[in-house]
Amino acid sequence: MNNKLAIGNVITLKKKHPCGGYAWTIYRLGADVGIKCLKCSHQLFINRLKFIKSIRA
């Protein structure tokens, strides 16, 4: 799973964003993961473990 985590990768989460988008791009990696919605450009930080669980397989 960790080989998919790289800056610039596009990922899909299990739940959609309020704007209706499912696709996110990774812009920061560390203890927290920074992701950006591709539909509305909203940015947020998620704890790495919670982020890994929320990725659609």
What is the share, in percent, of the chain residues with pLDDT greater than 90?
A: 88
**Residue 3 clears pLDDT 70, i.e. is over it:** no
| pLDDT band of 44, cuts 50, 70, 90 | very high
pTM: 0.84
Each residue of 15-34: pLDDT tens digit? 999 999 999 999 999 999 99
Distance CA(45)–CA(57), nearest Å, equals 20
Looking at residue 56, its pLDDT comes to 86
Distance CA(40)–CA(37), nearest Å, equals 6
Where exactly are the structural domains of the chain?
Answer: 2-54
